[in-house]
Structure 1
Amino acid sequence: MSADAAKHPLIAGVEGGGTSFRCIVVRGDVVVDRRSIPTAGPEETLREVCEFLSGHEYDAIGISTFGPVDLKASSPSYGKIMNTPKEGWSRADVLSPILAVRNDVPYGFDTDVNAPALAEFERHNAPLPPSDRLTSLAYVTVGTGVGAGLVVNSSPVRGLMHPEAGHVPVIPLPADADAPPYPWGARTPFRGQNTVEGTASSVALAHRLKAEGGTGDRDALAGLPDEHAAWDTVANALACMCVTLILTVSVEKIVLGGGIMQRKVVLPSVRQRVEEMLNGYVPAALRETEGGGSALREDLIVESVWGDDAGIFGTVALGKRAWQERTKL
């Protein structure tokens, strides 16, 4: 192996999403090839993924998927998607077909929120000296659903299962007390009532607007003015989630991504609400202001530096870590 190949191995990545499976091969910072495959049934979709991978050489691979998914290597259902609302995908084995393409290379496997959390973590740390680097970060994606990935002690978190912080309860605003039931609640904790996903996801918002006389079309959210009360609802729910992460995990940075976060009014509203909720209790989350006051640090809760590519480059980060672990041996 050449010195350049050892320093910059070929890394493949597969990001499994409910809408599409994205595949990539990179060497260093150079994208060799990438492809997006619409998500159909498991057999058809994974066949196309494997065809893409078969056309490339690679030294390691990172794989992420929507969930819930079994990440425990000792489990008989390791690599399989568990009970999911995505039709036809419950109990689907995502991992085995992909690994069978090249069973001699190291791999990393995680969720579609832990992977982008790792990508954000490494990007934020890249320019910093070791003494200033983060050891923890949360990545929250807000779209059709709400999910959170966690990096703690510089590694993605998993335990009983993977984090499902999108389903934690929130303190509703007075105007949200009579919100309609979450339409996907039958398969979620608390039936989605007064949870982050059951309040702030595009599905929940569209359902609420329909109950108020709207069409129920998620695309209609793009036409809502910034002053619409729906964005206050979103900001409150996300702030509750952020405060939960700060108080329980002591996370050093929270990254908010996903389609809902394209509405620029949401991020500053989340920050303001978090400041109100914390009530000065976490001094490390505050900065001094002119006049001797304090305010929430703006670098604590930020938008994604990767944007729509956080997920796919998260798989690259997983693959790189797997390669580094292999080459240490």
Structure 2
Amino acid sequence: FHRVTRRVQVPRWLLCVLRVVTQAMVAPTRIAAVEAGGTSWVVAIAEGDPTNIVERADFPTTTPEETLGHVVAWLKDKTFDCLGVASFGPIDLHTSSPKFGFITTTPKPFWTNADILGPLRKGLGLPEDYPIGFETDVNAPAMAEYSSALDQGQAMESCAYVTVGTGVGIGLVFGGHPVHGLLHGEGGHISVPQYPGDTWEGKKTLNCPGWFELESMVNSAALAGRAGCEIPALKDLPDEHPVWDTAAHYLAAMCANLILTASPQKIVLSGGVMLRSILFPKIRAKTQEYLNNYIDVPEVTTDLIEKVIVPSEHGNRAGIVGALYISRGTLSAKKSSSSVQVLGHTLCPGAISGILAVLGVGALLGATVVGMAARKP
């Protein structure tokens, strides 16, 4: 036997096919998400990782028709593989409910019982089985903080995310899943003990006598009211102003209640009010004072509490990054549900399609090369 080597020129069209197939297999997942806020809506596209935002736009919150119209128009000419929506609420998260995907009993004008997912799905022409995630605007960033901790190799089973600004909201994630139930958490409306000497009444959502509602006691309007200034002027108050001790009391009471009831390994404090960094050591110290060593673990009783009560690592992007994590998680769940086992390995439909494409092109290439090699020189 002897080997005959012959140079064969592969046709240009076949090279183009190989290039397209290869690029399709290695192209990063494009993740789309919407952060639906009471003041503004943010829409973004990330590639591969939810933190890798490559395109973003902001729109003011006006009416549902106008705001959703802006979002649909922006997304319509984009390519993406999944969509996540993190919305202010209350919202309906029960997939069996006729109002799934709605904002429900919000006091915000124009938005009571507003359908969110329906207009997005219809406007973008998305089929019913398209991977769309829907979550609260605090559970979504809680999911982002939880996932980031896991990505960094931290042992994490539970996480709370709290936003403190125009309103107060609390999101919880346990075992990799946002906490739902009868509805979803509305922790901004829990009652907290009144700070000694504090006579502020606040505008209460629940309007219950004797109920010192967390949001009405510590949101930006409450702090500005006590300080006798407009909300934008809060940033100009000195760290020594007594209003920050008042804020620290109410937020520490909240942290103590979270630790007592849910025992999260991390409590992330975010939002406009928490840009005042002096609040963090005050809140940690008061949380330890109020718990009074009852929860006898080093993460609460020692300086390790600095790793428990922390700012968001995503900064003011926490909301949209959270929505992008929800988007990616929905796509992953869809892939898992439609994957198959081959020789002990899990293959999703995309991987199967890619393998079949390579095998098909490989067979085509082999037949072409053999045919060309068989020709007489």
The question of a shared fold, defined as TM-score above 0.5 by the shorter chain, is answered with yes
Find the partner of 2:42 among 22, 35, 59. Answer: 22
Counterpart in 2 of 1:96?
118
Q: How does 1:192-271 map to 2 (within 5 A)?
A: 193-209=211-227, 214-215=228-229, 217-271=230-284
Q: Kindly tell me: are residues 219 and 32 of structure 1, through their superposed partners in 2, closer, same or farther at Cα, counting changes over 3 Å?
A: closer
Q: Kindly tell me: are residues 275 and 46 of structure 1, through their superposed partners in 2, closer, same or farther at Cα, counting changes over 3 Å?
A: same
Q: Are 1:126 and 2:126 matched, yes or no?
A: no
Counterpart in 1 of 2:308?
300
Moved more, 138-147 or 62-71: 62-71
Q: Are 1:182 and 2:191 matched, yes or no?
A: no
CA contact (8 A) 2:173 2:179 kept: yes
Q: Distance in 2 between matches of 1:261 and 1:75?
A: 36
Q: How does 1:131-170 map to 2 (within 5 A)?
A: 132-170=154-192
Find the partner of 1:39 among 61, 86, 89. Answer: 61
Counterpart in 2 of 1:275?
288
Q: Provide the alpha-carbon RMSD of the alignment.
A: 1.8
Counterpart in 2 of 1:291?
none
Deviations 1:286-329 (A, max 9, x none): 378xxxxx445210100010011011011110111111111112
Give the letter aligned to residue 23 of structure 1. Answer: V
Q: Structure 1 residue 127: deviation in Å?
A: 1.5
Report % sequence identity: 43
Q: Kindly tell me: are residues 10 and 82 of structure 1, through their superposed partners in 2, closer, same or farther at Cα, counting changes over 3 Å?
A: same
Give the letter aligned to residue 312 of structure 2. Answer: S
CA contact (8 A) 2:252 2:283 kept: yes
Give the letter aligned to residue 106 of structure 1. Answer: P
Q: Distance in 1 between matches of 2:176 and 2:145?
A: 12
Q: Structure 1 residue 146: deviation in Å?
A: 0.4
Tell me how many residue pairs correspond in the alignment.
Answer: 310
Counterpart in 2 of 1:112?
137
CA contact (8 A) 2:288 2:300 kept: no
Counterpart in 2 of 1:322?
330
Give the letter aligned to residue 196 of structure 1. Answer: L
Q: Distance in 2 between matches of 1:189 and 1:152?
A: 31
- What secondary structure is seen at the aligned counterpart in 2 of 1:174? coil
CA contact (8 A) 2:84 2:132 kept: yes
- In the superposition, the TM-score normalised over structure 1's length comes to 0.89
Q: Structure 1 residue 98: deviation in Å?
A: 1.3
Give the letter aligned to residue 326 of structure 1. Answer: K
- What secondary structure is seen at the aligned counterpart in 1 of 2:192? coil
Q: Distance in 1 between matches of 2:152 and 2:196?
A: 44
Structure 1 moving runs of 4+ over 4 Å: none
Q: Kindly tell me: are residues 287 and 182 of structure 1, through their superposed partners in 2, closer, same or farther at Cα, counting changes over 3 Å?
A: closer
Moved more, 67-76 or 140-149: 67-76
Q: Are 1:11 and 2:31 matched, yes or no?
A: yes
Moved more, 157-166 or 26-35: 26-35
Q: Kindly tell me: are residues 58 and 168 of structure 1, through their superposed partners in 2, closer, same or farther at Cα, counting changes over 3 Å?
A: same
Moved more, 294-303 or 106-115: 294-303
Q: Structure 1 residue 189: deviation in Å?
A: 5.8
CA contact (8 A) 2:45 2:53 kept: yes
Q: Structure 1 residue 134: deviation in Å?
A: 0.5
- In the superposition, the TM-score normalised over structure 2's length comes to 0.78
CA contact (8 A) 2:31 2:80 kept: yes
Give the letter aligned to residue 31 of structure 2. Answer: I
Find the partner of 2:94 among 51, 54, 72. Answer: 72
- What secondary structure is seen at the aligned counterpart in 2 of 1:159? coil
Q: Distance in 1 between matches of 2:207 and 2:145?
A: 28
CA contact (8 A) 2:299 2:307 kept: no
CA contact (8 A) 2:164 2:269 kept: yes
Counterpart in 2 of 1:86?
108
